[in-house]
Amino acid sequence: ETGVTQSPTHLIKTRGQQVTLRCSSQSGHNTVSWYQQALGQGPQFIFQYYREEENGRGNFPPRFSGLQFPNYSSELNVNALELDDSALYLCASSVMIFSGRETQYFGPGTRLLVL
């Protein structure tokens, strides 16, 4: 077990709705990254938060947004859901010492289905 938890485990929404996914980082980890994993694909980087500030973003539109809280838990918010947003959403926590090189530890993911 990595100590990273996510909620909910499964979620069904309809197109146009908004969704909030939650992640609790491993104790002592100050960085959280979010990934989208479509069926049969590798995870795609959405963004990363370090000390409550966004610290890099992948090729995702602004309707994907996030928050990181002082206790290092975090949220991923997706507005105006589209059918293609159906995927497994993974969060990963790490310790930011130097950018990029630290191992990321993943949670079990939230499976989102958009109808």
Binding site for another protein (CB under 8 A): 2, 31, 33, 35, 40-45, 48, 50, 55-56, 58, 88, 90, 92, 98-101, 103-109, 111
Comparing CB distances to another protein, the nearer of 62 and 98 is 98
**d(C-alpha 23, C-alpha 45), whole Å:** 15
Residue 46 Cβ vs another protein, minimum distance, rounded to whole Å: 9
Least distance between another protein and beta carbon 16 (Å): 26
Nearer to another protein, 94 or 114 (CB): 94
Distance CA 87, CA 69 (A): 24
For another protein, which is the closer residue by CB, 66 or 109? 109
**φ and ψ at residue 4, rounded to 5 degrees:** -100, 125
Q: Give yes or no for a contact between 79 and 18, defined as CB atoms under 8 angstroms apart.
A: yes
In this structure, are residues 25 and 4 in contact, taking their beta carbons and an 8 Å threshold? Answer: yes
For the bound state, the minimum distance from the C-beta of residue 57 to another protein, rounded and expressed in Å, comes to 9
Closest approach of another protein to the CB of residue 2, in Å: 7
Where does residue 60 rank: exposed (0-12), middle (13-18), buried (19+ CB within 10 A)?
middle
Task: Rank residues 33 and 68 by Cβ distance to another protein and give the closer one.
Answer: 33
